[in-house]
Amino acid sequence: MAGTSLISPLGGKLVNRTGAKERSAAPAVSIKLSAWEQCDLEMIAIGAMSPLEGFMNEDDYNSVCDKMMLSSGIVWALPITCTVDQATADSVSAGDVVQLNDDEGRLLGYLTVDSKFTPDKAKQATKAFGTDDLAHPGVKMMMESGDICLAGKIDVVTPRHDPLFTTHRLTPVQTRAEFETRGWKTVAAFQTRNPIHRAHEYLTKCAQEITDGLLIHPLMGATKDGDIPGEVRMKCYEVLIENYYHPDHTMLSVLPAAMRYAGPREAIMHAILRQNYGCTHIIIGRDHAGVGSYYGTYDAQQIFDTLEGTGLEIDTLRFEHAAWSKKAGGMVSGKTFPKIEGDQIFLSGTKVREMLLRGERPPVEFTRSEIADILIESMKG
Amino acid sequence: MAGTSLISPLGGKLVNRTGAKERSAAPAVSIKLSAWEQCDLEMIAIGAMSPLEGFMNEDDYNSVCDKMMLSSGIVWALPITCTVDQATADSVSAGDVVQLNDDEGRLLGYLTVDSKFTPDKAKQATKAFGTDDLAHPGVKMMMESGDICLAGKIDVVTPRHDPLFTTHRLTPVQTRAEFETRGWKTVAAFQTRNPIHRAHEYLTKCAQEITDGLLIHPLMGATKDGDIPGEVRMKCYEVLIENYYHPDHTMLSVLPAAMRYAGPREAIMHAILRQNYGCTHIIIGRDHAGVGSYYGTYDAQQIFDTLEGTGLEIDTLRFEHAAWSKKAGGMVSGKTFPKIEGDQIFLSGTKVREMLLRGERPPVEFTRSEIADILIESMKG
């Protein structure tokens, strides 16, 4: 049954850690946050990571690693920490306020330190990422981070300097307000870090058919090398929506989160974030948030079956791969149409890349020509 | 979150009123049930109308008409009654057992009369059908039925003599067993009383994408004149499924219910019945179960918003009209693609009928050629 008001944020209310004033006297210690931490700071500040109000302490860190929940019992899948080197940690005591800067040394906000602890990185790798392989981009980033975590609430002056995509950078408060204005009670979120080809367009539209609206919600925080640049992706989304989506039922906004490629655990995080943004459903495809072959095809779907009663209210829409079927004369998936030799128009990522680099459009059944043209143009030079 | 076992029948357990033995001495009074009542008897007997165990008494009748619930407080949308003429009613007293026959005088079962009452047909028309217009086929049938209702539990010997479609005539016990065998936790039901064209194929596949399986569940009980015969429809379903659906995710079974064309109230009944069959979702389109222009386009979708806490657990999947869009190169709906003059391939029912009568196939974007051929063949002579 459809609800009568928007879905609750995780933990019951949206956190807001923005609006802090710059201190007249700068704290003695300032920290340059990593790319991940800058994203996390912004996400915490705007309430996208509710109920987090800051960086995790040791209890929450261990509880999240071991039990996939905060020490309060609320679901949480990945540690959100602020790491520093030993020397910096030694210069800070509980109760101190530390300044948090971005990588250009600009003030973001302050951390009121309530504790310090040494993260068990080997455990974190195995529990959160399911692997300690340094070839995994998320594991590598985590292993290279500082050896001590500073925990405490944050008070943010500027969540992000020179943010990109400002016309499509809605906070959870803003997406929720927009959903209310539009009268959307059910909203499906689509997480992506790639241009949308026909297959994903199809999945989003299946989701759209059974909800009031679709939020195309590309992750635009830190990603790994080799991913298509945000500006190019954004242009693809805008052009695709303009030409092939219904404006009354479609919204585009960016998720300023970092990508950890943690597969099933990150799928849960993606769901939590979208619940905070006011979405009632999230599309979870095969190998969601995966990289390489670290995760089983359906791990990121099945993990949601273990979360009853942990506070996660958003529903998953679990999809198979989709492709154009010549016999069906339309988009199909492994659930809706049997596989017939040679019937489906499918190209590997490598193949598509090669075509685009040569200036060739993939078949329109695979990629809309408008999107192919943007990608071809972006690859020139 | 997906459940771990099948959805509960309405009221908690499946009713079974079959298995009665033929009495050695026939009761003094026997009744020839109407086409509607024969369908209702079968539906009650096999548990499809759980928690009903027989035909309604006056309390339930009034509660259903006035409050859309049984006197127990459980949701119910349409009166399910056994009507007789005054003379027959006068010959029966509370406690009597009455024999129930089909229209060929064959024994179906017995009704143990617990009460008699005079239905308020004017109220029933207005409440259940939203109109007292005798041009409405459901209102007409109801108005022409007997003037007195006999209420009581039924004990059924033979739910239906010479049933059609026996290979696809599963009871709720049987559909539930099959869902368990297939490992389906979420099942979308598709109610239909027409051949499936591309538009409805598209809706069913959207539903199928987000559930474990699809139950194509055509209503095959009493329908009105002018509806396409069951045998023809059944052939259409079989051929369509064979050619265009995935066998692992698709089931076909008939619903031996009568069609009342009661729009929103009947949509609720369709949902209740499917919950009893073990389905977690039901597709509700525009003007579901409507006829003529008695109901608002979205009435049968919106009425479900009023049913929180009444025992209905099945979820609705609410769809718009769908059609092939030339610009989109695929099936779209009013939610997924803007309307552009001349873009959609849409034919009225009348137009399709004319084409088929002339032996012409509609465009494949509207009707699969295999289905067109069956319909063309059926219209010869």
List pLDDT tens digits, range B282-296: 999 999 999 999 999
Q: Are residues A280 and A255 in the same domain?
A: yes
Q: Are residues B52 and B151 in the same domain?
A: yes
Tell me the per-residue pLDDT of B150-189, one tens digit each, with 9 for 90 and over. 999 999 999 999 999 999 999 999 999 999 999 999 999 9
Cross-chain Cβ contact B207/A210 below 8 Å: yes
- The answer to whether position A134 is within a domain reads yes
- The answer to whether position A7 is within a domain reads no
Residues of B in contact with A331 (CB under 8 A): 330
- Give A165 to chain B, closest Cα distance, Å: 24
Mean of per-residue pLDDT scores for chain B: 96
Q: Are residues A206 and A353 in the same domain?
A: yes
Output the CA–CA distances (angstroms, integers) from residue B305 to A196, A312, A364, B188, B299, in the order listed: 34, 23, 40, 19, 10
Q: Identify whether the C-beta of residue B136 lies closer than 8 Å to the C-beta of residue B68.
A: no
Cross-chain Cβ contact B1/A320 below 8 Å: no
Q: State pTM to two decimals.
A: 0.93
Residue B243 is a catalytic residue? no
CA–CA separation, A262 and A136 (whole Å): 9
- The answer to whether position B7 is within a domain reads no
- The answer to whether position B364 is within a domain reads yes
Domain C-terminal end among A133, A156, A179:
A156
Range of the domain at B120: 30-156
Partner B contacted by A318 (CB < 8 A)? yes
Tell me the per-residue pLDDT of B105-154, one tens digit each, with 9 for 90 and over. 999 999 999 999 999 999 999 999 999 999 999 999 999 999 999 999 99
Mean of per-residue pLDDT scores for chain A: 96
Looking at chain B, which residue has its C-alpha nearest residue A4? B305
CA–CA separation, B293 and B164 (whole Å): 32
Catalytic residues of A: 193-194
Domain C-terminal end among A108, A127, A156:
A156
Residue A3 has what pLDDT? 41
pLDDT beyond 90 at B309:
no
Residues of A in contact with B317 (CB under 8 A): 209-210
Tell me the per-residue pLDDT of A316-349, one tens digit each, with 9 for 90 and over. 999 999 999 999 999 999 999 999 999 999 999 8
Tally of domains in chain A: 2
Which residue's entry shows tokens 């594991």?
Answer: A139
Residues of B in contact with A206 (CB under 8 A): 205-206, 209-210
Partner B contacted by A312 (CB < 8 A)? yes
Q: Are residues B121 and B245 in the same domain?
A: no
pLDDT tier at B226, thresholds 50, 70, 90: confident
Partner B contacted by A370 (CB < 8 A)? no
pLDDT beyond 60 at A2:
no
- The answer to whether position B21 is within a domain reads no
Planar angle of CA A31, A36, A41, nearest 5 degrees: 65
Q: Are residues A102 and A192 in the same domain?
A: no
- Give B40 to chain A, closest Cα distance, Å: 27
- The answer to whether position B25 is within a domain reads no
Q: Are residues A197 and A346 in the same domain?
A: yes
Q: Are residues A180 and A213 in the same domain?
A: yes
Residues of B in contact with A205 (CB under 8 A): 206, 332, 336
pLDDT beyond 90 at B2:
no
Q: Identify whether the C-beta of residue A336 lies closer than 8 Å to the C-beta of residue B209.
A: yes
Tell me the per-residue pLDDT of A28-86, one tens digit each, with 9 for 90 and over. 999 999 999 999 999 999 999 999 999 999 999 999 999 999 999 999 999 999 999 99
Nearest 10 degrees: Cα torsion B149, B152, B157, B163? 50
CA–CA separation, B203 and B55 (whole Å): 35
Partner B contacted by A105 (CB < 8 A)? no
Domain C-terminal end among A138, A156, A174:
A156
Active-site option among B193, B260, B265, B368: B193
Q: Which of A1, A205, A338 sits opposite B246 (nearest CB)?
A: A338
Partner A contacted by B312 (CB < 8 A)? yes
Cross-chain Cβ contact B336/A207 below 8 Å: no
Q: Are residues B147 and B171 in the same domain?
A: no
Looking at residue B89, which CATH number applies to its domain?
Answer: 3.10.400.10
- Give B364 to chain A, closest Cα distance, Å: 9
- Mutate which of A1, A201, A202, A306 to test chain B, going by most B C-beta atoms within 10 A? A1
Q: Are residues B112 and B196 in the same domain?
A: no
Cross-chain Cβ contact A206/B209 below 8 Å: yes
Q: Are residues B152 and B177 in the same domain?
A: no
pLDDT beyond 90 at A227:
no
pLDDT tier at B82, thresholds 50, 70, 90: very high
Looking at chain A, which residue has its C-alpha nearest residue B213? A335
Partner B contacted by A161 (CB < 8 A)? no
Output the CA–CA distances (angstroms, integers) from residue B279 to B147, B200, B270, in the order listed: 36, 18, 11
Residues of B in contact with A317 (CB under 8 A): 209-210
Looking at chain B, which residue has its C-alpha nearest residue A324? B330
Cross-chain Cβ contact A305/B207 below 8 Å: no
Looking at chain B, which residue has its C-alpha nearest residue A206? B206
Looking at residue B192, which CATH number applies to its domain?
Answer: 3.40.50.620
Q: Are residues B151 and B170 in the same domain?
A: no
**What percent of chain B clears pLDDT 70, i.e. is strictly above it?**
99
Partner A contacted by B329 (CB < 8 A)? yes
Residues of B in contact with A329 (CB under 8 A): 364-365
Q: Are residues B338 and B268 in the same domain?
A: yes
Partner A contacted by B150 (CB < 8 A)? no
What count of CB pairs under 8 Å joins A to B?
91
Partner A contacted by B196 (CB < 8 A)? no
Q: Which of A317, A330, A365 sits opposite B210 (nearest CB)?
A: A317
- The answer to whether position B125 is within a domain reads yes
